[in-house]
């Protein structure tokens, strides 16, 4: 089973999608298998990260923004603004797909883990991702 899910991001940052992915797993009725997620964009990515303390998310965002800064004079791909090329680099450095085991009809995530779509652009966007369960 494959489900396409769309979300509207509020702008740069981590947006939790764990609930929507778990809903797709439950709909599939697969008890033991694999869930694969693909974000269908080149300026956003996916990550599994702590979902208990928001400061962990803020620190990740700040670190990645420091690592890949905007307005670097070497960037020529700036058609959509100063966050254009940095967003592509951030997506290349992180992940555009995730694979998570399904155990007893549930995502095999740890206690404090959540699945996040990581928006790398400042402006909000409609983002699509595919959830495949087998």
pLDDT tens track, the chain, 134 positions? 999 999 999 999 999 999 999 999 999 999 999 999 999 999 999 999 999 999 999 999 999 999 999 999 999 999 999 999 999 999 999 999 999 999 999 999 999 999 999 999 999 899 999 999 99
Cα-trace Rg, the chain: 16
- Residue 67 to residue 99: CA distance in whole angstroms: 26
Strand partners, 86: none
- Give dist(CA 116, CA 118) in Å, integer: 6
Domains of the chain: 2-133 (2.60.120.460)
Instruction: Indicate yes or no: pTM above 0.85.
Output: yes
């Amino acid at each position: 089973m494959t489900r396409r899910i769309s979300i509207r991001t509020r702008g740069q940052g981590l947006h939790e999608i764990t609930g929507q992915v778990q809903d797709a797993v439950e709909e599939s009725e697969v008890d033991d298998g694999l869930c694969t997620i693909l974000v269908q964009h080149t300026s956003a990515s996916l990550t599994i990260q702590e979902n208990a303390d928001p400061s962990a998310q803020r620190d990740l965002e700040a670190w990645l923004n420091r690592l890949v800064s905007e307005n670097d004079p070497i960037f020529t791909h700036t058609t959509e603004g100063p966050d254009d090329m940095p967003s592509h680099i951030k997506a290349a450095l992180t992940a555009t797909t995730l694979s998570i085991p399904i155990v007893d009809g549930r995502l095999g995530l740890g206690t404090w883990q959540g699945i996040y779509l990581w928006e790398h652009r400042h402006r909000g966007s409609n983002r699509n991702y595919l959830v495949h369960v087998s």
